[in-house]
Amino acid sequence: MNRWRQFLLARELSGQKRRPGNLPGFRRLVGPEGPLAGVTATCFLLYRPPEELAARGSIGDFVERIVPRLLAQLHRSTHPRRVHLRGRARGDVDWAATVKARLAGSQDPTVFVCRESRRLYDLPENRLLKYLVEKLSTCLQRAPQELADWSWPGATEYVGDRLAFVAHRLRRFRANAYLRDVELPGTIHGEHLTAARNARNPLYAKLADFHDFYAAVIEVPQWDLWTQILRQSCVLLPADEARILDRTMAGA
C-alpha cells in the first residue's frame, strides 16, 4: 500500500464518528503488523496531548523529561558479596575470613577477603523502562521514510526533523551503561507495572502510565484514543502533493 493510500485510509478512518463494528479487523489494520502500522506509529511519535490530557504522557515528555531523569537515578538493589583480593583491600575487610584464607594458602600477608556491595539494576521497574525504549525504537523503524518532508498540524518543524530528534534521544538511552545491564522482557506483566507504581520515585509511576498509553495506541489500538491521536497529529502532505491529492479525490 503506497503512502497516499495509507494516508487517505487513515484519514478516512479517523474521521468516522461511529466506532467500527469489527474492532478486531480495525486492530489488524492499524496495529503493529497491519498495513497502517507506519501511519499509526508516526502519529503516535508526533502526538502532543492537550493540556487536560497531559497526565497521560507523550513521546516528547518521555524522551525529554521522564527517561533522562530516571537514568540519572535508576532504582537499584544492593547485594553484599565476598571478594578475595591480593595486595589491596576494598570495602570492609572480613578479618576472620582473611586469616582463614591466609592459613589455608601460602600465608601471604597481602591476601584480603573483603565485603563489597554490588549494585544491581535488573529490577522490574527498570525492565519496563528498557521495554518502552526498545518499543519506541521499533515505532521509529515503522515510520515511512517518505514522510520526512511532511508536516503536521500546529508544528513548526518537518516530520523528519522531529523523528530525528527522537531517534537521537533513544540511541543515547540504549547506550546507557546501567540500562544495558537490565534484561529486556518479551512482554510487560503486572509485576512490572506494580513495581513502577509503587516505586519511591514518582517518575516510575508516570512510566507505567505512559506504557498504558502506548499499549492502547500501538499494541492493542483503542478506537477512541487512536482517532483522537490521528485527528490531532496525522501528517500533512507537502503543498504540491496535497494539490495533486485534492484533484485525485475530486475526480474519484
What per-residue confidence (pLDDT) applies to 84?
A: 81
- Mean pLDDT for the stretch of residues 212-226: 92
Q: How far apart are CA 252 and CA 240, in angstroms?
A: 19
159 contacts 68 by C-beta, under 8 angstroms: no
Q: How far apart are CA 176 and CA 205, in angstroms?
A: 21
Instruction: Tell me the pLDDT tens digit for each residue of 103-157.
Output: 887 788 889 998 876 668 889 999 999 999 999 999 999 887 777 777 666 666 7
Q: How far apart are CA 230 and CA 46, in angstroms?
A: 10
246 contacts 35 by C-beta, under 8 angstroms: no
Lowest mean pLDDT among 57-61, 148-152, 174-178: 148-152
User: Which 3-state string (H, E, C) describes 136-187?
Assistant: HHHHHHHCCHHHHHCECCCCCCCHHHHHHHHHHHHHHHHCCHHHHCCCCCCC
Distances (CA, A) of 41 to 16, 23, 25, 33: 20, 19, 18, 11
Q: How far apart are CA 102 and CA 97, in angstroms?
A: 9
CA atoms within 13 A on the CB side of 247: 5
Confidence (pTM):
0.76
120 contacts 76 by C-beta, under 8 angstroms: yes
Q: Running DSSP on this structure, what letter comes out for residue 113?
A: E
Q: Beta 77-86 vs 92-93: how paired, if at all?
A: unpaired
Instruction: Tell me the pLDDT tens digit for each residue of 16-27.
Output: 767 777 788 889
pLDDT class of 63 with cuts at 50, 70, 90? very high
